[in-house]
Amino acid sequence: MLGLVEPQSSGVGGGGFMLYYDAKSGAVTAIDGREKAPAGASPTMFLDEHGKPLSYLEAVRSGRSTGVPGVVAMLYTAHARYGGLHWQELFQPAIRAATDGIKVPERLASFLGEGSPFPPTNEIRTLFSRPDGGTVEAGDLFRNPDYAATLKRLALEGPSALYEGSIASELVKVTTTPPLPGDMTLRDLAGYRAEWTQPVCRPYRHYSVCVPPPPAGGVSLLELLGTLEKTDFASRGPNDPQAWFLFAQASRLMYADRDRYIADPHFVTVPVERLLDPAYLRLRAQLIGERAGPVPQPGNVFTPRGPDATQESSGTSHFVVVDADGNVVSMTTTVETVFGSGRTVGGFVLNNQLTDFSFAPTEAGQPAANAVQGGKRPRSSMAPVIILDHDHNFFAALGSPGGSAILEYNAKAIVGLLAWKLSLKQAIELPNLIARGDTFSGELAKFTPAVLAGLRERGIELKSGRAENSGFHGVLRRADGTYEGAADSRREGVAEMLAPARRGEAPHAVVH
């Protein structure tokens, strides 16, 4: 359904990460549906003829930016173990909507218009055209019969409808077409498998915060929380400039480590234990002085790596579902940039996830951890979260879209919820602040003048910019067993408590 109503951010041509809480066992599991580079991908694929990195837009709008899609395989893998309905049933609402038409959401229309940060390609304009040849606008009825046909095949054939046969052949054809053709083959598609993985869980404020392992961004989120835990951050509050100064400085330290060390663990050693070691976190926290200084350097984790040259977009979708039995899904999914690569197949948008690799494979003689390799999954900022209480029962599930800022969006809400004891909605609506390297951006209108002045005194001058792009969603389980859901007012998300489908069932919560 997201591929129909929010195709600029996600869909069957993309990938994602899922966390699942099983109410019977209390276990949290993770599934990696991240895209993979084709076997023929090379470390220099995003360099020009002079050995210089391509411009970001040129790389994105190319055939070589598309990785083997993973989200369909991930959903099928989850359904095989935990699904309650027949696979075919799950597609019927989206098939009907694609056939009968939807009213074009304002956000989708905004990315099709003249003011879009990534102007739509001709393929995108054709897909979203009106009968008169113009591009659809907000409120127009939009039908996507090609997408309905794709969903019908997925419903009947399972993932093989995407990874084999005519759709796969068309996907290979489109991605190997100039300019800058890619290397995807039918073998790459047929060989894709989603992976069950063990989540990484660490304590924060007497709760256990669980995230997917690398190449997802969750380890960096845990590092940020752990660094803040080594300061007096929790004793402060949302109107204290020192709290936001600590948040900004801990974020800068986290990004320095993330950009140097996080990558696909099947290809490089990722020092997870070192990055989350309490003694290491204490050393990192001790680097936070009274004023913002130069760009922080990555910490010493005894793993030599070159600097990273990855550029990231702020697309993506997130949703949370709690079912009638108390099982929980927290899932983040994306096609990467607005409308992905700008190329389409079968009524859906192809991802540009391979631009999440470092464009430069080496720097100063050291290989970048996130350099391109055939079969490798690019580093991701996606970090769906499930939080357990001290009895190991489900407490909350949450997450946000937003590119590399996902880590700070999630951290902001978690500290608001667990350290400052705000309601879920209050935590989500806290101002966004993004601090990475020598860049500080934030929602200036949401911070009090005193906070902005206090940050300025500490060497941080917030600029308006990318920090408004969160789309947070979450569900919290109250002490009485009822649920509280909330969605970010910055996007079009909603929280719904659905009525029981059958007599005797409990209602369940959906936030999307």
Residue-wise pLDDT for 388-414, tens only, equals 999 999 999 999 999 899 999 999 999
HEC assignment per residue over 373-434: CCCCCCCCCCCCEEEECCCCCEEEEEECCCHHHHHHHHHHHHHHHHCCCCCHHHHHCCCCEE
pLDDT at 503: 43
Q: What is the pLDDT of residues 204-215, one digit of tens each?
A: 999 999 999 999
Total H helices, total E strands in the chain: 17, 21
The pLDDT tens digits of the residues spanning 126-169 come to: 999 998 889 999 999 999 999 999 999 999 999 999 999 999 99
What was the pLDDT predicted at 500?
A: 55
What's the whole-number mean pLDDT along residues 486-498?
A: 88
Looking at residue 370, the DSSP 8-state letter turns out to be T
14-38 pLDDT, tens digit per residue, is 999 999 999 999 999 999 999 999 9
CA distance 280 to 271: 12
Q: Which domains are delineated in the chain?
A: 197-309+381-511 (3.60.20.40)
Whole-prediction pTM: 0.94
Residue 499 pLDDT class (50, 70, 90 cuts) = low
Please say if 185 is a catalytic residue: no
Q: Is 465 left (phi over 0), alpha (psi -120 to 50) or beta?
A: left
* Cβ proximity of 44 and 362 under 8 Å: no
pLDDT at 504: 46
Distance CA 188, CA 184 (A): 6
- Residue 378: pLDDT above 60? yes
SS3 509: strand
Angle at 216 between CA 372 and CA 356, to 5 degrees: 35
Residue 492 confidence (pLDDT):
83
Residue 497: pLDDT band with limits 50, 70, 90: confident
Task: Output phi, psi for 155, to 5 deg.
Answer: -65, -40
pLDDT value of residue 118: 79
In order of 225, 273, 314, 380, the CA distances from 219 in angstroms are: 10, 9, 19, 11
- Catalytic member of 66, 77, 316, 355: 316
Higher pLDDT, 117 or 220: 220
